[in-house]
Amino acid sequence: MTDLAAFIRSLPKAELHVHLEGCITPEQVVAIGRRNGVAPFESVQAARAAYDVSTLDDFLAMFAKASEVLLHEDDFAEVASAYFDLAAAEGVRHLELMLDLQAHTTRGLAIGTVFDGLARAQRHASRNGLSTSLIVNFMRERDEEEALALLASLAPYRSQIVAIGIDSAENGHPPRKFTRLFQEARMMGLGLVAHAGFEGPPEDIEEAIDLLQVDRVDHGNRVYERPALARRLGHMGTALTVCPCSEVELGVVASLAEHPVRRMLMDGMRPSVHSDDPAWFGSITENYIALAQESALTRSEVLQLVRNSFATSFLTASSISRYLAELDEKIDACADRA
Ligand SMILES: [Zn+2]
């Protein structure tokens, strides 16, 4: 492992873009599937082969198939706890877990099964020093009425939820479809995020900002196709959660070396690095290391990304200050040893 990789592993960081369903490993999909009498794959080897996808459509199909093994509270607790443990071991101190609730409710699961299972994992994480909260994502290919009804039914679980977002299929499903949903969520005091400009056009990023008034854009990798929009995001200091390995593996960014993250930093945007779907594309630290090595990021660029991860989280201002101070202490300690 290089010095930079060791340095990245040692840094306290926040993870803001990771999907629960993207944490289901090939081993879990087989073990949990067998336990529940739902066996989408015959073996771990077959699951691993099926996880090898190269387009968003193929990925979404596999993501749905893997999600179908989750039936009981225990299953949700197990998958979330396993990733919380891995993330904590890699220095993650705060994690905002995304959840595609419709991937479960449309299969007939009760909302409580999902949230009670995740609450158990969140208590487990808290005992390990990892703070967590949930972001409920609504699928862009489904309609707004369904999303509004689901949002209204989340009241009993409000304390676990920090924000809502939109994700899944982008082309043909623009953010403007969800303007009322986001207005409603804003009135409830929830944070707002949106997957935009991943596969879909840069206009989606503009709609997410202007119509949905999001706090963060998830991905946003296509922003430079519209230079005026990129300048605007730079002036606004827009937060972007980039996920370099999924963006490259699903073919929306040509290579890690050509990832726009450095440009985003230079232009005043506030990107940070995340795993997206760690069972497919590697953990948060693996994403940082791959990006840093292939894009030849400097230590100070890596540190700015890590600082952004706390500063653009939904933590309170005092918690953000505390984590940034912890990060500074760590950097000072590294400098003393150098
Ligand atoms: Zn995502």
What are the residue ranges spanned by the domains of the chain?
3-25+74-337
pLDDT tens per residue across span 233-268: 999 999 999 999 999 999 999 999 999 999 999 999
Compute the chain's Rg from CA coordinates: 19
Ligand 1 center–CA 111 separation, angstroms: 21
Ligand 1 center–CA 6 separation, angstroms: 26
DSSP state of 276: B
The ranges of the chain with pLDDT < 50 are none
Ligand 1 center–CA 167 separation, angstroms: 7
> What pLDDT does 140 receive?
95
Ligand 1 center–CA 216 separation, angstroms: 12
Ligand 1 center–CA 19 separation, angstroms: 6
Residue in the block written with tokens 């997206």: 276
Assess contact for 271 and 242: CB atoms under 8 A.
yes
In angstroms, the CA 206 to CA 254 distance is 23
CA distances from 103 to 88, 120, 184, 214 (A): 26, 20, 22, 23
Ligand 1 center–CA 173 separation, angstroms: 16
Ligand 1 center–CA 166 separation, angstroms: 9
Ligand 1 center–CA 24 separation, angstroms: 14
CA-based angle 206:149:98, to the nearest 5?
55
Ligand 1 center–CA 241 separation, angstroms: 9
In angstroms, the CA 133 to CA 137 distance is 13
Ligand 1 center–CA 116 separation, angstroms: 23
> What pLDDT does 1 receive?
55
Ligand 1 center–CA 137 separation, angstroms: 9
Ligand 1 center–CA 17 separation, angstroms: 6
Ligand 1 center–CA 332 separation, angstroms: 33
Ligand 1 center–CA 10 separation, angstroms: 25
Fold of 3-25+74-337: TIM Barrel (3.20.20)
pLDDT tens per residue across span 268-317: 999 999 999 999 999 999 999 999 999 999 999 999 999 999 999 999 99
Ligand 1 center–CA 60 separation, angstroms: 11
Ligand 1 center–CA 338 separation, angstroms: 37
Assess contact for 104 and 64: CB atoms under 8 A.
no
Ligand 1 center–CA 136 separation, angstroms: 12
Ligand 1 center–CA 334 separation, angstroms: 32
Ligand 1 center–CA 275 separation, angstroms: 8
Ligand 1 center–CA 273 separation, angstroms: 12
SS3 162: strand
Ligand 1 center–CA 165 separation, angstroms: 10
Instruction: With CA atoms as reference, report the closest residue to 208 among 182, 190, 188.
Output: 182
Ligand 1 center–CA 41 separation, angstroms: 24
